[in-house]
Structure 1
Amino acid sequence: MKEKITGHSIQLFEKKGFSETSIQDIVDSLGVTKGTFYYYFSSKEELLMDIHLGYINELLVHQEQILNDRSKNCKQKLFEIVNMLITNIQRQGAAAKIFFREMKNLSSERLALIVPKRDQFRLNIEALINDGISKKEFRQDLNARIVTMGILGITNWSYQWFNPNGMVSDREVAEIFVEMILKGIQEN
């Protein structure tokens, strides 16, 4: 039931927003009582925190698997991370929107648990870029921090516009992004 509450809440939060969705809306969508909700969550904010933790923890686990794969070079790992973020839209797109849009509704105590995880994801990419620079897979004059922010900017914004059932596949979008990241858009 906890997963059902979370799933329905993600749908409602995506459509109406966190602030505009009441606990009554959530339980009505499930046909259960508020007592059922409060059995699993002490508040709507705790539910939001659960959504945030589920989303970022899953990304970190997959990112670590990619980074620890010794059979791939830095370019391949970068592609795999970008591809993971884009393919994740079909499964976790609504949760991602909530993660980015509704973070402002978490208390400072709860944010203190989420922000370090979000930062770790970013720092892992930055370390990968630095590793690629040191191994001469990437240009030596790159600012790894800015490149990392650019990568996260284009991939995270994709949750707003990318349709996994559209004319371009998630893998094709990831390939276009990585090609653009690695080679830029200037004609040689």
Structure 2
Amino acid sequence: MPRPSRWSEIVAAASEEFRDRGYENATLESIGARVGILKGSIYNYVASKEELLLAVVEEPARQLLAELERLRTSSGRTVTVRLRELIRMQVRIFADCHPAAFVYLQHLGRMPSPRFAEFREMDEQYMDALEALLAEGVRTGELALAGEPRTAAYVVVGTLGWMQHWFVPRGPEADRALADQLFAQLLGGLVAGSGMLGISRSFGDEHGL
């Protein structure tokens, strides 16, 4: 009788190992120890540690891009509503794919493998879609940005990406409430951005800064 596959356990253990120790310090032996199998058994599933890292990050990356494309192409909703949905979706994926999603954020730009170029391209697609959404908000008058939409997109992505340092899933309701808090704080900054930029410039002129 064939033994059940341990693949899902191996991927989960690798996610935790890469998150806790970093890719460079993680070993197939330590990942196997988390599952209760020997290093040699992992080679029945992957050929290298890099291949295992790819398996860890692929699901959250593709899920995020698919959800963003669905959100981008949805019609009949305001930019602010779609921005709220984007933040809710991001937090949900962080929770559903925890900690693999944060492993993705940590290692996106560090791996030389040609396969990782594909993920970096998806990351750029994400930035382009978010920038287009914010630019649309400027055109419709919903948002008043302090600078270029691309800069605002970096602010949003930076805020969400920093969650890797402090976020722990607490359940659907609590995670959704957290997403709405982040949305309210980001939206407040975006709406008030132009006025705040004027205040900053006036302060600088007055004090010779």
Partners of 2:129 and 2:11 in 1: CA distance: 28
Residue 28 to residue 184, structure 1, CA distance change in 2 (3 Å): closer
Partners of 2:143 and 2:101 in 1: CA distance: 29
Query: Is it true that 1:87 corresponds to 2:85 in the alignment?
Result: no
Query: Is it true that 1:26 corresponds to 2:47 in the alignment?
Result: no
Preserved CA contact (<8 Å) 1:130 1:144: yes
Partners of 1:112 and 1:175 in 2: CA distance: 32
Partners of 2:145 and 2:162 in 1: CA distance: 27
Q: Match for residue 179 of structure 1?
A: 184
Instruction: Please say which structure displays the higher CA radius of gyration.
Output: 2
Deviation larger for 114-123 or 157-166: 157-166
Residue 141 to residue 31, structure 1, CA distance change in 2 (3 Å): closer
Q: Match for residue 52 of structure 1?
A: 57
- Deviation (angstroms), 1:83: 1.2
Higher relative contact order (CA 8 A, sep 6+): 1
1:22-59 Cα deviation digits (max 9, x unpaired): 11112232233434322221100111122222221111
Determine which of 2, 7, 10 is the counterpart of 2:7. 2
1:43-100 Cα deviation digits (max 9, x unpaired): 0011112222222111111112222222322111100111111233322231122112
- Deviation (angstroms), 1:116: 0.5
Partners of 1:100 and 1:65 in 2: CA distance: 22
Preserved CA contact (<8 Å) 1:12 1:26: yes
Task: Provide runs of 4+ in structure 1 moved above 4 Å.
Answer: 185-188
Query: Is it true that 1:74 corresponds to 2:79 in the alignment?
Result: yes
Residue 57 to residue 16, structure 1, CA distance change in 2 (3 Å): same
Residue 140 to residue 155, structure 1, CA distance change in 2 (3 Å): closer
Preserved CA contact (<8 Å) 2:14 2:56: no
Preserved CA contact (<8 Å) 1:24 1:34: yes
Give the % identical residues: 24
Residue 31 to residue 141, structure 1, CA distance change in 2 (3 Å): closer
Structure 1: segments with no counterpart, 5+ residues: none
Q: Match for residue 102 of structure 1?
A: 107
Partners of 1:103 and 1:85 in 2: CA distance: 17
Q: Match for residue 135 of structure 2?
A: 130
Q: Match for residue 200 of structure 2?
A: none
- TM-score, normalised with respect to structure 2: 0.78
Partners of 1:104 and 1:36 in 2: CA distance: 29
Determine which of 14, 17, 27 is the counterpart of 1:12. 17
Structure 2: segments with no counterpart, 5+ residues: 1-5, 197-209
Partners of 1:101 and 1:20 in 2: CA distance: 14
Amino acid at match of 1:111: F
Provide the aligned length of Structure 1 versus Structure 2: 187
- Deviation (angstroms), 1:108: 4.2
